[in-house]
Amino acid sequence: MSEFNVTIMHTTSGKEIVVAVEPAFTVSSILDVLSESLKLKDRFVLATADHKILGPEVTVQEAGLKENDQLLLMPDPTGG
């Protein structure tokens, strides 16, 4: 399986960003890309549509993400 797109909803700004991911990508690497493109200053986490927070070391494949899935980009609730 190769790369596919997921939609990420930035919960604080309401922006939607479509990101191309690969099964081996980690949540952490996706967050790095988002931080750079959105100029994020605080720590953020990615969560599934049902608000289950994905750990930074989890891969796209382990998270069970599929084409056109929607993720939520939320401020880190632990305050990091």
Q: What is the DSSP letter of 66?
A: -
Distance of CA 77 to the CA centre of its chain: 15
Give the range of the structural domain holding residue 66, as residue numbers without chain letter. Answer: 4-75
CATH number at residue 57: 3.10.20.90
**With pLDDT > 90 as the criterion, what percentage of the chain qualifies?**
88
Domain count for the chain, please give it.
1
Residue 80 lies in a domain: no
pTM of the predicted model as reported, rounded to 2 decimal places: 0.90
Q: How much is the pLDDT for 35?
A: 93
Give the DSSP letter string of 15-60. -EEEEEE-TT-BHHHHHHHHHHHHT--S-EEEEETT-PEEPTT-BT
Residue 54 lies in a domain: yes
On average, the pLDDT of the chain sits at: 93
CA–CA separation, 43 and 80 (whole Å): 7
